[in-house]
């Protein structure tokens, strides 16, 4: 089904993006789509109307509508694990019943959300006290989706924080937990342990260190620890009472779990009302995804542009470039969301994929990235599709001139990527600088920008809780659409397992509790080095 698109790509390679705008003065409007006040502009790509039609045809060939409806209805679309995929139910504030095996899951979702709200209000109002008084700080201990999602959201919504300060610990490197706890008061800190099974090695190692820290410095584990887990018995054995355990079902994957108990730290920081606004933003994107035609559907268009660049044009990476400092953790969050979901090599039936799977996702906030890696994006030999994000206004109204410069930089970078600078233009510049002959030619060639480098632009009014919810849900559904069209399961992550198994096997050898056996020469050499110098 890709042959027609490969033909379009071959035909388009020599075409300048700027020519598309010259031929169609309304191109920007024709190659943009909106959902509420989000505007997605993909006109600075080499996609024309015929190519778009061929891309949209992929949706129908893959049965996207049926798979989408099956996911929202509670069908077990995670086929390799035999699970439903219902993170959307966590933000289904206004919807009806959602059944899994004939049982409506919404009463349980609402009950858990109500418990979260009540607990968050109690902490924020000072009704939950630690030995030192009211809670001033929250430490969320998790890893992967139990860390990246809430850390990203807490930072993004920091203008709305009117509750405890949030800190996040994920790395099993002892420096992470030590540096975080060192600046906190153990008698006024709430520790959240986020692990569905309460067995995740990194999380539980850090949790045990935090528990010892509380006990040694006058804290109270039962009053100052919360578990985000389905393993009530294990949490109880850790010292956390059942009323402080907030569980979630196996139909919520870790990287899709921000909307429920994993988001408790965010709710504590910004309050239940603001958290609900984020849920409503996600719900609004769900409604849009389910109702909008493919040619106006933001998740579908975002996915199709991604497929065009990665699977058809062969661009191996994708840069996420939010011109919003408070979205500094979004690229890392999307790294996990997209690469753990679609970094697969076989189709749903176990056969090898016909097309390459997902690209490498990376990025950083503008304008910092401009002084780091944009050189490669503009003049490097690899083409890197860029996804720019920009709000119409920031939260610092008295610093509006900062935001104007930020916006100007974002738009300028997208325009520079498209237009580039020809050798003739570079020669003219060097001649104007007084150069001539061989030196003019040499200097001019260093100043050539190929241009014709694709980018998209996602515009939003302001980074509010509602808008953040829209953006996160937009990317979740984008991943789903790409997965359906590629024929893969976006909701398992078997590639994570092998490394975990081998780490469990190696840990006793590193610590000297077991002899070194069954390892390759390189690993044996590294073990010898570490054991000799570890003290």
Indicate whether 301 belongs to any domain: yes
* 51 and 96 part of one domain: no
Domain assignment of residue 428, yes or no: no
The verdict on 487 and 502 lying in the same domain is no
* Number of compact structural domains in the chain: 3
For residue 530 the two structure tokens come to 């570490």
Instruction: Give the contacts of 185 (CB within 8 A, at least 6 positions apart).
Output: 132, 136, 137
Question: Same domain, yes or no, for 227 and 113?
Answer: yes
In whole angstroms, what is the distance from residue 295 CA to residue 280 CA?
Answer: 24
Q: Give dist(CA 360, CA 356) in Å, integer.
A: 12
Beta bridge partners of 149: none
CA distance 220 to 225: 8
| 310 and 296 housed in the same domain | yes
The catalytic residue positions are 340, 371, 500
Per-residue pLDDT, 354 = 84
| Pair (172, 250) in one structural domain | yes
| 151 and 243, same domain (yes or no) | yes
The answer to the question of residue 73 being in a domain is no
- Write out the chain's pLDDT in tens, 535 residues: 788 899 999 988 889 999 999 999 999 999 999 999 999 999 999 999 999 999 999 999 999 999 999 999 999 999 999 999 999 999 999 888 999 999 999 999 999 999 999 999 999 999 998 999 999 999 999 999 999 999 999 999 999 999 999 999 999 999 999 999 999 999 999 999 999 999 999 999 999 999 999 999 999 999 999 999 999 999 999 999 999 999 989 999 999 999 999 999 999 999 999 999 999 999 999 999 999 999 999 999 999 999 999 999 999 999 999 999 999 999 999 999 999 999 999 999 999 998 889 899 999 999 999 999 999 999 999 999 999 999 999 999 999 999 999 999 999 999 999 999 999 999 999 999 999 999 999 999 999 999 999 999 999 999 999 999 999 999 999 999 999 999 999 999 988 888 888 998 999 999 889 999 999 999 999 999 998 888 6
Which two structure tokens, joined as six digits, stand for 234? 């294990």
Domain-embedded: residue 67: no
Where does a domain end: 228, 243, 276?
276
Q: Any idea which residue has 């995740």 for tokens?
A: 200
In the chain, the N- to C-terminal Cα span, in Å, equals 59
Residues 190 and 236 in one domain: yes
**What b/e string do you get for 268-280 counting C-beta neighbours within 10 Å, with b at 16 or more?**
bbbbbebbbbbbb
Residue 180 within a domain: yes
pTM: 0.96
State the Cα–Cα distance between residues 250 and 196, nearest whole angstrom.
9
Number of CB atoms found within 10 A of residue 187's CB: 16
409 lies in some domain: no
Domain housing 507:
497-533
Give me the pLDDT at residue 388, please: 98
- For residue 39, the cross-strand partners are 34, 459
Which residue's entry shows tokens 């919504």?
Answer: 157
Q: Pairing state of beta strands 245-246 and 317-323?
A: unpaired
Of 277, 254, 281, 285, whose CA–CA distance to 150 is shortest? 254
Residues 199 and 50 in one domain: no
Measured CA to CA, the distance from residue 150 to residue 123 in angstroms comes to 18
Same domain, 306 and 388: yes
Distance CA 19, CA 399 (A): 38
Residue 139: CATH number of its domain: 3.40.50.10490
């Amino acid at each position: 089904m890709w042959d027609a698109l490969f033909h379009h790509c071959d035909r388009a390679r020599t075409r300048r993006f700027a020519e598309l705008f010259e031929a169609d003065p309304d191109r920007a409007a024709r190659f943009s789509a909106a959902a509420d006040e989000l505007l997605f502009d993909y006109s600075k790509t080499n996609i024309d109307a015929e190519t778009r039609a061929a891309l949209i045809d992929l949706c129908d060939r893959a049965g996207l509508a049926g798979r989408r409806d099956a996911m929202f209805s509670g069908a077990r679309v995670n086929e390799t694990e035999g699970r439903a995929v219902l993170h959307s139910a966590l933000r289904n504030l206004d919807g009806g019943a959602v059944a899994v095996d004939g049982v409506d899951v919404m009463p349980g979702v609402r009950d858990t959300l109500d418990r979260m709200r009540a607990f968050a209000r109690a902490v924020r109002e000072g009704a939950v006290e630690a030995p030192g008084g009211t809670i001033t700080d929250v430490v969320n201990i998790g890893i992967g989706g139990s860390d990246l999602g809430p850390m990203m959201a807490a930072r993004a919504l920091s203008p709305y924080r009117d509750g405890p300060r949030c800190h996040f610990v994920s790395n099993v490197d002892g420096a992470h937990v030590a540096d975080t706890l060192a600046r906190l008061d153990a008698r006024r800190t709430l520790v959240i342990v986020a692990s569905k099974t309460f067995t995740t090695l990194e999380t539980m190692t850090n949790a045990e260190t935090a528990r010892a820290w509380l006990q040694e410095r006058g804290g109270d584990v039962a009053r100052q620890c919360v578990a985000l887990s389905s393993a009530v018995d294990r949490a109880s054995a850790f010292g956390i009472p059942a009323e402080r355990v907030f569980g979630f079902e196996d139909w919520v994957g870790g990287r899709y779990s921000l909307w429920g108990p994993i988001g408790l730290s965010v709710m504590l920081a910004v309050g239940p009302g603001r958290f609900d606004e984020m849920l409503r933003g996600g719900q609004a994107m769900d409604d849009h995804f389910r109702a909008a035609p493919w040619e106006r559907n933001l998740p579908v268009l975002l996915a199709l542009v991604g497929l065009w660049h990665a699977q058809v044009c062969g661009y191996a990476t994708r840069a996420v470039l939010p011109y919003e400092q408070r979205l500094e953790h979004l690229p890392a969050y999307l790294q996990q969301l997209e690469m753990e979901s679609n970094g697969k090599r076989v189709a749903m039936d176990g056969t090898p994929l016909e097309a390459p799977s997902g690209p490498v996702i990376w990025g950083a906030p503008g304008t910092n990235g401009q002084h780091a890696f944009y050189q490669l994006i503009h003049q490097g030999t690899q083409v890197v599709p860029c996804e720019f994000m920009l709000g119409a206004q920031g939260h610092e109204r008295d610093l509006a001139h900062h935001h104007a410069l930020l916006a100007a930089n974002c738009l300028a970078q997208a325009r520079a990527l498209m237009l580039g600078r020809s050798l003739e233009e570079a020669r003219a510049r060097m001649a104007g600088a007084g150069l001539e002959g061989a030196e003019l030619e040499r200097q001019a060639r260093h100043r050539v920008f190929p241009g014709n480098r694709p980018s998209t632009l996602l515009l939003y009014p302001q980074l509010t809780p509602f808008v953040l919810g829209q953006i996160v849900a937009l990317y979740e559904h984008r991943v789903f659409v790409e997965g359906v069209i590629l024929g893969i399961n976006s909701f398992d992550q078997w590639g994570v397992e092998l490394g975990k198994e081998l780490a469990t096997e190696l840990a006793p050898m590193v610590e000297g509790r077991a002899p070194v056996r069954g390892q390759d020469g390189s690993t044996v050499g590294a073990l010898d080095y570490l054991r000799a110098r570890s003290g």
